[in-house]
Amino acid sequence: MSGFAYPNEMETQWSLLIVLYPFITGLVAGAFMVSALYHVFGITRFRPIARFSLVAALAFLLVAPLPLLLHLGRPERALEMFLRPNFTSAMSGFGFIWSAYTLLVVVEIWLVFRRDIVGYAQTSHGPKKLLYSMLALGVFDVSEQTLHTDEKVAKVLAFIGIPSASLLHGYVGFIFGAVKANPWWSTPLMPLIFLLSAIVSGMALLLVMYVLVCRVRRVAADRECVSSLAKWLTGFLVIDLTLESLEVLFMLYESEESWDIISQLITQKLHYTFLGLQLGLGSLVPLFLLVSSGLARLRQRWGTALAFLASSLVLIGVFSMRWNVVIGGQMFSKSLRGFLTYNPPLMGREGVLVAAALMVLPLVLFATLVYFIPPWRQAGVTKEA
């Protein structure tokens, strides 16, 4: 601690798990957006990754509530939001938004993979045959007309999922932006910044996962898909970086009484995570790499490697942004005359090891899902559409 702070400000209420929560939900929203670009807007270059992105979105979506549940002292009380809902509370809205969005994603995945599920049910034996028969829900009709209907319904769900994904993560920024007492959070740009950074992180995650999975499977990554995804990532990264810069410039231009403490927060307390990781290593450096790989006609191997490196740095930058918002907003005292220090513990319910396990868990779920419903091959019941 430095400067003046009240005794009740010595404890950081929102810890590393609350940093992880908006980061994971952002990955979900961004991954779903990539799938929607193919299913809704017909961007055929995303075809190799469209089904892949849906499975990735579901894997991270299932883990999204866990940081909040672990943060609660009595996690079983989370059910109270359903039993005794408070519709005036923005925080309690997460349960309803997450539940509705999870149902939407599960139904869309079932429609997209139904042909494969039926094929596996017809060709498998023993427990697997029973599993796939249960997943088929008794619908074994794979005629062209039925599959066309599935495709149309999936497209409608993907269209509905676009605003739903925006709501899932944009409302997190709304919660922070609505805290008027905190000048680091209270800005109308906060929901939009959270949403754009979510799209950026989701696209970066998919590019990294797609390249790694192709490497594990010993197949070449689709060049046009990686190149197109890198271009879309570059565009959204430019917009996101512009809005984040405008937010700080707007605070500087207003120069309210809180600017003195915020400027110290940026240049002293958050100079590594904000200036170094979020803006430097996580935004400007990957933007340079992406633009360079787009302008230079590199071989597929080098172009994919640069896009992979840039995407990895983007993920670091977006996580740093979540840290700077959640933790940074709690580092200065309410008197605006002092700073607190937060160092996450290694062990414990809200420690670094638990947070690391929560980040690994979606990858384990993804590996499990793709084992049963591989997104890169068909079951052979009918010719792929």
Question: Which element (helix H / strand E) includes 219?
Answer: none
From residue 95, alpha-carbon distances to 26, 64, 124 in Å are 16, 11, 37
Mean pLDDT of 369-377: 87
Which of 18-32, 81-95, 327-341 is modeled with the greatest confidence?
A: 18-32
What distance in Å separates the CA atoms of residue 327 and residue 15, rounded to the nearest whole number?
7
Q: Determine how many CB atoms are found less than 10 A away from the CB of residue 268.
A: 10
pLDDT over 50 (residue 380): no
pLDDT over 50 (residue 383): no
Cα 63 to chain centroid distance, Å, stands at 11
Burial of residue 50 (CB within 10 Å: 0-12, 13-18, 19+) is buried
Cα 114 to chain centroid distance, Å, stands at 26
Mean pLDDT of 31-35: 90
Q: Which pLDDT score, from 0 to 100, does residue 125 have?
A: 87
Q: Which pLDDT score, from 0 to 100, does residue 5 have?
A: 58
Mean pLDDT of 161-179: 82
What distance in Å separates the CA atoms of residue 144 and residue 27, rounded to the nearest whole number?
34
Over the chain, what is the mean pLDDT?
A: 86
What backbone torsions phi and psi does residue 259 show, to the nearest 5 degrees?
-65, -35
From residue 179, alpha-carbon distances to 23, 90, 199, 339 in Å are 20, 11, 24, 19
Domains of the chain are 8-372 (1.20.1630.10)
Mean pLDDT of 335-354: 83
| pTM of the predicted structure, to 2 decimals | 0.89
Q: Which pLDDT score, from 0 to 100, does residue 238 have?
A: 94
What is the widest separation between alpha-carbon atoms in the chain? 72
Query: Letter for the amino acid at 262?
Result: I
